[in-house]
Chain A
Amino acid sequence: MEYYLQLIINGLVVGSIYSLVALGFVIIFKATKVVNFAQGELVMVGAYVCFALTVQFQLPFFASFLLTLAFSIVLATAVERLILRPLIGEPIISVIMVTIGLSSMLKSFVQMVWGTQIQVFPAILPQEPYMLLGLPIAPVYVAAFGLSALLFGVFSLFFKFSSLGIAMRATAFDQQAAQSMGIGIKSIFALSWCIAAVVSSIGGIILGNINGINAQLGHLGLKVFPAVILGGLDSLLGAALGGLIIGVLENICEGAAKDLLGLGGFKEVASFLILVVILMVKPYGLFGTKEIERV
């Protein structure tokens, strides 16, 4: 029992990072209808930049954290301006492929600069674990969970009350109507990429503190698809819940497969099996907008 409880807690922590990455994905999809296959690479680049600033340039962690966020904003603006904007109005496969091309470029950049070995962040939080229900939990896990909860809170308030957030929702709902009401669509698109890059970087930095980072970190981006499909491609709440549910489910499946069947590495595929089932049963997810077609 304790084994499964531990699995659930680990799942919640990993799931909270999936949620963060999914948040970036959903924000881009909500505002621009672009499916970003480079989300995992944004996580990776953020993690590596922060790593380089803290370890190689010896900056204090907080300063490098802020600098990383600034870097993400610059990167996202450039990506949006140079790569995505020329493709507005192109078919969906082109947009998907351009983000795949972008992910190859980012991956190659990281590998050329930092190589492929695992790099370890210096410990920032205390190592002494907290005890919860008799189980040890590392402070970095608590921080990961807390930080992503905080970011979700901030962004739900932002979308609900701030005028920029309302403009973003309006753009997502109907681009032409939003434009004719005086909303600058281009800046909304750029803004959504910036937010996505910033939350992904934060996810990357947290992950770097838990597991260390390597060039495979981009693979995390794929894990986001089951989470956002489960939650619904355009729902913030869905992203949060979807990430947590997928995180927990895949950990339990992994544990159960190892425990009962002796299968290793089932984690990699469990979430995609779940994904196929969700797609067949409820393609728009728990909270996604249904696209209704009538002739």
Chain B
Amino acid sequence: MSMHKCGLFYTTYAAEDGLFRSRFQKLCLGLFLAALLAVPQLVDSYAVSILNLILIAVIGAVSLNLLTGMCGQMSLGHGAFVGVGAYGAAILSNAGAPFVAALLGGGAISAMVGMVFGIPSLRLKGIYLAISTLAAQLILEYVFLHASSLTGGANGLPVDPPQILGFAFDTDGRIFYLILAVTVLCVLAVTNVSRTRHGRAFVAIRDYHQSAENVGVNLFAYKLQAFGLSSFLAGVAGGLWSHYTMYITPEQFSMGLSISYLAMIIIGGMGSVIGSIFGAVFITLLPEMLNLLISSLGGIAPDLSAVIVPMKEGVFGLMLVLFLIFEPEGLARKWRLTKAYWKLYPFAY
């Protein structure tokens, strides 16, 4: 999000490296955040609940983009890592841990599991890695379902809403602020990682692993870090999810969730933080839009409601295919083009 004037006017390195580089940009972000803070007062709780789901999806998508978009390690098991965090946080919190500790603990457990499944990444690349993370997904799903003494098996696991210093976040509107705060922290964290030595090492590995190794990047260490950090954030998303929905079952963290996270970063834009946010918004809103469309068509074609569930999946697949064919760089590119257009307006060059 760089809303600066045409031309470079930096006079210090610090200004050029800054996270927010212009006053206008800070103003826009401030206004956006203020608008977000006001939302629960303005709309009904259903809209807030969708917004909560979007925010949780943003954390998941941003964390997957760190691993896949930035470091080039494709993961088909991200949904399961979210699940590990969700179960971890839920179990800790049911055992009496305070919410913040449970959330971080869930993230830590997820990071450890993610690093274990990241170990094959030293030997495997591309398709082989994708298949090994697919194995991780299915193995973890099996564990969720069959370790019933811990996870409640197919019956699921009830969780209490989060409580910090005696204040219970037990309505959509209240928990919204909690989720928003965590999401902002996670997004800032990932944005900052891309500006550090580690982030540059990740990008080097993605672009060409052999030259990265030649200039002294320790492939194994950095790949494991990418897996660890990404699954930690995924686990945090999972912890929020379990405390928000207050009930988790294994099928919430199935292959489908992993695929929708991948769809988010592809539709949003690989390797771009703002892209992951766009993607998360798009994919979460897609079924809602379809619901709206179907209910408005209800008068004309009433038998449509029978096919709506399978149709959602079909539209999801179609969107994925269309984006990959026509806009492989995703919504982030559209955003860049729009900004460039207004920067140059009214000239076309």
Binding site for B on A (CB under 8 A): 35, 83, 86-87, 90, 92-94, 96-98, 100-105, 107-109, 111-112, 222, 225-226, 229, 233, 263-265, 268-269, 272-273, 275-276, 279-280, 283, 293, 295
Contacts and interface: CB of A to CB of B under 8 A. Distances in A.
A85 B136 CA distance: 31
B131 A225 contact: yes
Contact of A105 (B68, B266, B317): B317
Contacts of A279: 120, 123-124, 128, 131-132, 135
Contacts of B266: 93-94, 97
A139 B32 CA distance: 68
B320 A265 contact: no
Contacts of A233: 127
Given A97-B324, A265-B142, A275-B131, 9 more contacts: A35-B130, A83-B325, A98-B321, A101-B263, A101-B320, A105-B317, A108-B314, A222-B138, A279-B128
A272 B135 contact: yes
- Interface SS of chain B: helix, strand, loop or mixed? helix
A188 B32 CA distance: 52
22 contacts: A93-B74, A94-B324, A97-B320, A97-B324, A98-B321, A101-B316, A102-B317, A103-B317, A104-B316, A104-B317, A107-B314, A108-B312, A108-B315, A233-B127, A264-B146, A275-B131, A275-B132, A276-B139, A279-B128, A280-B120, A280-B123, A283-B128
Contact of A107 (B131, B310, B321): B310
Contacts of B214: 295
Given A93-B68, A108-B313, A112-B314, A276 B324 contact: no
Q: Give the interface size bracket for B toward A.
A: 35 or more
Contacts of B307: 111-112
Most A CB contacts (10 A, CB to CB) among B68, B135, B263 go to: B135
A64 to B, nearest CB: 24
Interface string B117-161: 000100110111011101110110010011000000000000000
A245 B40 CA distance: 57
Nearest to A284: B128
A96 B127 CA distance: 8
Contacts of A97: 262-263, 266, 320, 324
B48 to A, nearest CB: 29
Contacts of B311: 108, 112
A275 B325 contact: no
Given A96-B74, A275-B131, A269 B138 contact: yes
Given A108-B310, A272-B138, A101 B127 contact: no
Interface in B262-282: 262-263, 266, 270
A103 B76 CA distance: 15
A83 B310 CA distance: 21
A241 to B, nearest CB: 18
A265 to B, nearest CB: 7
Interface in B218-272: 255, 259, 262-263, 266, 270
A288 B324 CA distance: 29
Contact of A101 (B142, B324, B328): B324
Nearest to B135: A272
A222 B318 contact: no
B210 interface: yes
B310 A87 contact: no
A244 B111 CA distance: 36
Contacts of A111: 307, 309-310, 313
B324 A92 contact: no
Interface in B175-198: none
Contacts of B127: 35, 92, 96, 233
B126 to A, nearest CB: 5
A268 B132 contact: no
Contact of B321 (A93, A105, A108, A272): A105
Nearest to A92: B126
B321 A283 contact: no
A162 B309 CA distance: 46
B142 A87 contact: no
A293 B213 CA distance: 13
Contacts of A109: 310, 314
B336 to A, nearest CB: 19
Given A98-B321, A102-B321, A107 B139 contact: no
Lowest 4 CB-CB distances: which A-B pairs, in order? Answer: A104-B317, A108-B314, A101-B320, A111-B310
Contact of A229 (B128, B139, B317): B128
A293 B120 CA distance: 17
